[in-house]
Structure 1
Amino acid sequence: MAAACLLLGAGAAQAGEIDGAALSVAWGVPFVGMLLSIALMPLLLPRFWHHHFGKVTAGWALAFLLPFTLAFGAGAAAHHFVHALLAEYLPFVILLTALYTVAGGIYIRGNLVGSPGLNTAILAMGAVLASFMGTTGASMLLIRPLLRANDNRRHQAHVVVFFIFIVSNAGGALTPLGDPPLFLGFLKGVDFFWTVRHVWGPMLFLTLALLAVFYAIDRRLMRERGETDLPDPTPSLDASGAPSRLGFEGGVNFALLLAVVALVLFSGVWRTPAGLEVAGIRVGLPGLVRDAGLIAVALLSLWLTPRRVHAANEFGWGPMQEVAKLFAGIFLTIIPVIAMLKAGVDGPFGAIVRAVTRADGTPDPAMYFWATGALSSFLDNAPTYLVFFNTAGGDPAHLMTDMALTLTAISAGAVFMGANTYIGNAPNLMVKAIAEDRGVKMPGFFGYMAWSFCVLLPLLVLITLFWFWK
């Protein structure tokens, strides 16, 4: 084992960055295969996908890794595999797992009835919480009580779709704690409160507009379908089964949630050269401390939360396992795609990069908004943010001042348009999986996109005209 690690480290040390300009678009086939599998297999082969999605993901990962090893050598393959694992995937999954576990240990009790007013209020609350506890934390905290409140409704899917739009995406646009792309910007040097000052306008517009549209749809559906006459199958019980009033159980998890926020924030503020080098990949001490702390928080939550609270929440690992497996494949197969984007105008996707620049060489904020958003809809929005952050120059001081509108467009595009598909942002898949576990018949990949096309697209066009069309 030790000899294998030494060989891996030696080979990785000799590996350099991929020259994206020299790559063929064929290297993007495994990534496209991953996307098509997520989109089509649940529709065409639902039983096979439910039991074997992990194997399908592993197959596409190998479809990238094996040819890449043959073409560039074992050292390069090891380097990029370890980089994706240590620098991107593990921190991502550890943070999501901590938020998922802590939020799953908080039970909102009480006899909630899913009226249009209550549903809209829960969505609005989630939008506020998302920027302070992350879109994942807010989603995991509120999706279960929202589903429980609407379990007497014949039509529930639209409630979950708007929950993904508002709580799992748009609500996280105000602080670096809200969404991973903004946290990456914070690590690059963007001031913590810069996003609040510059993105609050489009975020408020989008959130209020979505809440208004949702209220109108939910009110009409409830009236037309006669759903108000259905009995409420959810009794007003606490986690132990006794009658209760509205309140919380598992309150220790609120303190643990603050610990998660503190660990993430501290890792971005703490500057030190200390760290470890694993197979040629530098892992900083702040990140190691953050990840170790997040693991400890998750374990503490599991230990301190009463079993009856988890049982009342129907807490299980299925949704987290699905996200972890699918994003393992996405983080691996996306490697050549990101390299081609980073190659700029010289790469296979040079047309995209040229599209965000005007003829006089100045950046076009509207095009940055749509280019960042379009790619964030299908790629992970965190690396997409970094690509266009660097395309715009990568100097945070310059971007926050002279190019403030461009950075605002990049930030808003990455966060808002992560809601366009199930794979645009990790909480989307988690919320979908939890809803389906509760028996909600969610739209498929393209069915969901039909919702985003009809509801989100017109609002995003208005945001472009009001804020970025200069």
Structure 2
Amino acid sequence: MRSAKILAAAVALLLVAEPAFASEGGLPGDAMSLVWAVPFAGLLLSIATGPLLFPHVWEHHYGKIAAGWAAVVIVPLAASFGLTEAGAAVLHALLTEYMSFIILLFALFTIAGGILVAGNIHGTPLANAGLLLIGAMLASVVGTTGASMIMIRPLIRANDNRPFNAHVVVFFIFLVSNIGGSLTPLGDPPLFVGFLRGVDFFWTTVHIFPDTLFVAGVVLALFLAIDIFFHLREEGMPKIKDPTPDSKVRLRGLPNLPLLAGVIGAILMSAWWKPGPAFTVLGVTVELQNLVRDIIILALAFVSLAVSRKEYRAANGFDWGPIAEVAKLFAAIFICIVPVVAILQAGAQGALAPLVAMVTGANGQPNDLAYFWLTGLLSSFLDNAPTYLVFFELAGGNAQHLMNEFASTLAAISAGAVFMGANTYIGNAPNFMVYAIARRRGVRMPSFFGYMAWSGLVLIPTFVLSSLIFF
């Protein structure tokens, strides 16, 4: 609660002098140095080292720490560029990006939490691989967040009697929380951003399917080999009593399935229905279809709370801790990323001009390999949806042109944003939610850098091969 008050007070500084802002804001990224990226780097460093170096302090005060970094961005922005311009930029990020982002995550988290995959199977390597495959396929239908929330608890239960089980959750994040969501705009936020910008719904299904099949196949094969290795090591160790004995698997909480379909329908509606009217909230334009979408999605989440049986949520170990953690940390991330995105949007005139130059070949044509890696590496640490949008705009911003003449470039941007969100815990929102759930269920998850060691050993070589083959 105190962290929310700190963040609210910092935002209030932008509202003291003027009750409304004149425009959406556009920070002069071409005049901003890389010093403006320091708070964002500090926030990432705090997330990376806090649970490792001072776990007790972090567990009880991570919200205050995140709010502090957000304030370090807001106050200098207001002092340097004025309340109007700084306020418009920050509020635009909060009202048009963060709010829709967290509302969707909240709804998927809530609805999926009412769906219980009851019973339990024994977490053998083949069974685990099967669960990962099902989750990955589900991710492009109900989103990486929905698939993660439905499948993570059954996976943890299946392996809760194994001394080595953290790697199973790590690969779950790789495949279900990221790679599996690459085939439709419903799967991952970056692809939904492209859909809203005019990319056909099934374009990614057609153009990224071979790459997805290759990457997912390689990662799943590596998981199977690693899980077999750990399973063999466990044979000679003392047996751990299974807290959730094997039993027949049943799907409970079926009324939540049409609610998930309703969330998908609301998202599609907001892309296809363009009524025209918009509202101005503190100078920030909010389009009617997006407001209606968010209201419908919130309503569906509350309906889920009303119709779901409490015992199903209890059996899922459902609590608000993971979504609260994501909400606080990503609020700060969305604020701290504002000046970073402004610098990126300045293109060749900004402090990150060398990065921009790397995506253009000597002949002036897009460098697909560079687009894949730069979009991906930035998506590993920045939110992958705005990162996708930045490179989408750098490539011309015309969906029809990109889908046809520069189809390989759009595929590189899309694949980089979705795949490499798996490189860190903060690359994609479901990553941190899965991490938080697993940790609360007793899984000894690797630290921020420990997780990056896994992604560096498994994902980066896979992405190298993939990029050489497809881009």
Same-fold call, TM cutoff 0.5: yes
| Pair 1:42-2:51 in alignment | yes
| Pair 1:177-2:186 in alignment | yes
Task: Decide whether the 8 Å contact of 2:143 with 2:188 is kept in 1.
Answer: yes
Task: Decide whether the 8 Å contact of 2:424 with 2:448 is kept in 1.
Answer: yes
SS in 1 for 2:120: coil
**More deviation in 450-459 or 271-280?**
271-280
Distance 1:258 1:228 in 2: 45
Structure-to-structure mapping, 1:67-146, within 5 angstroms: 67-146=76-155
Q: 2:28 aligns with which of 19, 24, 37?
A: 19
Any gaps of 5 or more consecutive residues in structure 1? 237-243
Distance 1:15 1:146 in 2: 44
**Which residue of structure 1 aligns with residue 333 of structure 2?**
330
**Which residue of structure 2 aligns with residue 209 of structure 1?**
218
Please tell me the residue identity of whatever aligns with 2:195.
Answer: F
Q: 1:148 aligns with which of 144, 149, 157?
A: 157
Q: 1:351 aligns with which of 332, 350, 354?
A: 354
Please tell me the residue identity of whatever aligns with 1:362.
Answer: Q
What do the CA deviations read for 1:255-287 (whole angstroms, capped 9, x no partner)? Answer: 111111111111111112112111221111111
**Which residue of structure 1 aligns with residue 342 of structure 2?**
339
| Pair 1:272-2:275 in alignment | yes
**Which residue of structure 2 aligns with residue 225 of structure 1?**
234
**More deviation in 220-229 or 93-102?**
220-229
SS in 2 for 1:133: helix
Any gaps of 5 or more consecutive residues in structure 2? 1-13
Shift of 1:6: 10
| Pair 1:315-2:324 in alignment | no
Please tell me the residue identity of whatever aligns with 1:375.
Answer: L
SS in 2 for 1:428: helix
Please tell me the residue identity of whatever aligns with 2:313.
Answer: H
Distance 1:9 1:63 in 2: 22
Distance 2:463 2:113 in 1: 32
**Which residue of structure 2 aligns with residue 240 of structure 1?**
none
| Pair 1:377-2:386 in alignment | no
Aligned length: 457
Q: 1:445 aligns with which of 437, 443, 448?
A: 448
Q: 2:245 aligns with which of 235, 245, 250?
A: 235
Distance 1:460 1:14 in 2: 41
TM-score (norm 1): 0.95
Please tell me the residue identity of whatever aligns with 1:330.
Answer: I
SS in 1 for 2:285: strand
SS in 2 for 1:246: strand
| Pair 1:401-2:395 in alignment | no
What do the CA deviations read for 1:373-397 (whole angstroms, capped 9, x no partner)? Answer: 0100010000000000000000001
What do the CA deviations read for 1:293-329 (whole angstroms, capped 9, x no partner)? Answer: 1110110111100111111111000000000000000
Task: Decide whether the 8 Å contact of 1:8 with 1:78 is kept in 2.
Answer: no
**Which residue of structure 2 aligns with residue 360 of structure 1?**
363
Distance 1:324 1:16 in 2: 24
Shift of 1:231: 3.9
SS in 2 for 1:446: helix
Runs of 4+ that moved beyond 2 A: 4-10, 227-233
**Which residue of structure 1 aligns with residue 200 of structure 2?**
191
Please tell me the residue identity of whatever aligns with 1:348.
Answer: A
Output the aligned Cα RMSD: 1.4
SS in 1 for 2:248: coil
Q: 2:287 aligns with which of 280, 284, 287?
A: 284
What do the CA deviations read for 1:208-233 (whole angstroms, capped 9, x no partner)? Answer: 11111111111111111216954422
Task: Decide whether the 8 Å contact of 2:162 with 2:234 is kept in 1.
Answer: no
| Pair 1:255-2:258 in alignment | yes
Please tell me the residue identity of whatever aligns with 1:448.
Answer: Y
Shift of 1:83: 0.6
Distance 2:465 2:248 in 1: 42
Identical aligned pairs, as a percentage? 55
**More deviation in 39-48 or 73-82?**
73-82
Task: Decide whether the 8 Å contact of 2:279 with 2:287 is kept in 1.
Answer: yes
Distance 2:23 2:466 in 1: 47
Distance 2:135 2:18 in 1: 45
SS in 1 for 2:88: helix
Please tell me the residue identity of whatever aligns with 2:221.
Answer: A
**Which residue of structure 1 aligns with residue 10 of structure 2?**
none
Please tell me the residue identity of whatever aligns with 2:140.
Answer: S
SS in 2 for 1:282: strand
Please tell me the residue identity of whatever aligns with 2:42.
Answer: G
**Which residue of structure 1 aligns with residue 457 of structure 2?**
454
Task: Decide whether the 8 Å contact of 2:120 with 2:154 is kept in 1.
Answer: no
Task: Decide whether the 8 Å contact of 1:277 with 1:283 is kept in 2.
Answer: yes
Distance 2:18 2:114 in 1: 40
**Which residue of structure 2 aligns with residue 428 of structure 1?**
431
**Which residue of structure 1 aligns with residue 418 of structure 2?**
415
Distance 2:447 2:254 in 1: 36
